[in-house]
Amino acid sequence: MKPAVLAFLSGIAVLFLNGCGQQHADAGPVAKAEPAKPAYVGATYAPTLKQQPSVAAMTALGRTMFSDPSLSASGKMSCATCHSPEHAFGPPNNLAVQLGGKEMNTLGTRAAPSLRYIQNVPAFTEHFFDDDGDDSIDAGPTGGHNWDGRAPSTHDQARIPLLSAHEMGNASPAEVVEKLKRASYAAQFRQVFGADIFDKQEQAFKWALMALEVFQESPAEFYPYNSKYDAFLRQQTRLSKQELRGLQLFNNPAKGNCASCHISAISPSGAFPQFTDYGLIAIGVPRNKHIPANADPKYYDMGLCGPDRTDLKDRTEYCGMFKTPSLRNVATRKVFFHNGGFTSLEQVIKFYVERDTQPQKWYPKAKDGSVMKYDDLPPAYHGNVNVEAPFDRKPGDRPALTDSEIKDVVAFLKTLNDGYKP
């Protein structure tokens, strides 16, 4: 995707695989987990108080709110219902999309992502120039929160589930504030934000979103960098032969080429890899028939160009693009891709290498027997779909990875789960 980054990555990979330690011994143990600076400090968004609340107080409140079901219309759903702390803040179950709403019986349209390692997601831009690599290359649409990059920050993001009819189902910010006022920790809320905070509904709502954001920036819970792969980068452990083969296949531009989008190497400035370049890319994931919205043949979730995102709805060259997710902790998930249509990592990787060589295995057939490739995107936009490696093949070609190589890549992906104990 980005040739400069790619060249650098394969360089690093070669260093690792040759066991030449010197190079990254200089770089590590860096674990530059970047912003220690809470987002609300100096943010024009943050309403002013006589005294700025401390990060510790905000974090504690945010943590309590995150798991409080009384903040939902049903009284049964909190952020943690879909973003389970025991599951890397991803979904705890195997549902493609989660149930929510007032009666807890409305299904959403997208898979719940993990909330780990999103602390450095850059603001959405249509033209991204990477200062770490070759900054003259326009990498295209990049960044923002959600699968379509539409939320500029995690505090803006938090409004969406609190107020969405198919999630926590509150009718208005005022309704959320009313619930906070009745919460068991209301006194704590007043202590942190001022005795009269509940009299100023708009401010109270904004501070509640800020508390959720500050909680989601706590390093130990949200970006611990303590996977086996991190330990390997710090030279505290070795990868098994199979995991190393998997890493090599993951990085190799002629094999998986995964690292061209899911960055796997320490950055030139010394930050640990996030396993995403935050780019928005169309890869032509098949339509998931189990999502109720998809019962309407005219409905398409096209990511960047809508319908959930509305500011770029006329930019048809963006239709079908979704944000490249981090692959950290991906092996803890039970459903994959924006529509949750895949249920194992083997299946995901098989799709990558067979989408173009054996499309009939992945897409339905039309009445005339032809394969409806990219069936979740109107035909006019099929040209938006990425065709770089491992997608650079045609029917009948050999897939970029064999079955046993796919197993190696899966073994490597499992080293990205947090909580490794040597």
Q: What does the binding site for ligand HEC look like in residue numbers (CB under 6 A)?
A: 1, 77, 79, 81-83, 98, 100, 108, 110, 112-113, 115, 118, 121, 145-148, 154, 157-158, 161-162, 167-168, 212, 256-258, 260-262, 281, 283, 285, 308, 322, 324-325, 327, 330, 333, 336-338, 345, 348-349, 352, 386, 388, 390, 409
Nearer to ligand HEC, 39 or 285 (CB): 285
Nearer to ligand HEC, 38 or 108 (CB): 108
Q: Which residues of 234-251 are buried (b: 16+ CB within 10 A; e: fewer)?
A: beeeebeeebbbbbbbbb
In the complex, least distance from residue 65 CB atom to ligand HEC, rounded to whole angstroms: 7
Q: Which two tokens stand for residue 360?
A: 């009939």
Nearer to ligand HEC, 148 or 418 (CB): 148
Give the integer Cα–Cα distance in Å for 33 and 7.
24
- Beta strands 280-281 and 322-323: pairing type? antiparallel
Nearer to ligand HEC, 196 or 388 (CB): 388
- In 3D space, the residue among 285, 261, 302, 405 whose CA is nearest the CA of residue 355 turns out to be 285
Q: Which two tokens stand for residue 101?
A: 């709403």
Nearer to ligand HEC, 78 or 203 (CB): 78
User: What angle separates helix 403-414 from helix 241-251, to the nearest 10 degrees?
Assistant: 100
Nearer to ligand HEC, 9 or 77 (CB): 77
What DSSP element (H or E) covers 100?
strand 99-100
In the complex, least distance from residue 378 CB atom to ligand HEC, rounded to whole angstroms: 16
What DSSP element (H or E) covers 248?
helix 241-251
Task: Give the HSE-up count for residue 82: Cα atoms under 13 Å, Cβ half-sphere.
Answer: 24
In the complex, least distance from residue 216 CB atom to ligand HEC, rounded to whole angstroms: 6
Farthest CA pair distance, the chain: 70
Cα–Cα–Cα angle for 154, 156, 160, rounded to 5 degrees: 100
Nearer to ligand HEC, 10 or 386 (CB): 386
Residues 130, 5 contacting (CB under 8 angstroms): yes
SS3 (DSSP) at 83 = coil
Query: If 0-12 CB within 10 Å is exposed, 13-18 middle and 19+ buried, where does residue 171 land?
Result: exposed
Nearer to ligand HEC, 6 or 27 (CB): 6
In the complex, least distance from residue 68 CB atom to ligand HEC, rounded to whole angstroms: 9
In the complex, least distance from residue 90 CB atom to ligand HEC, rounded to whole angstroms: 8
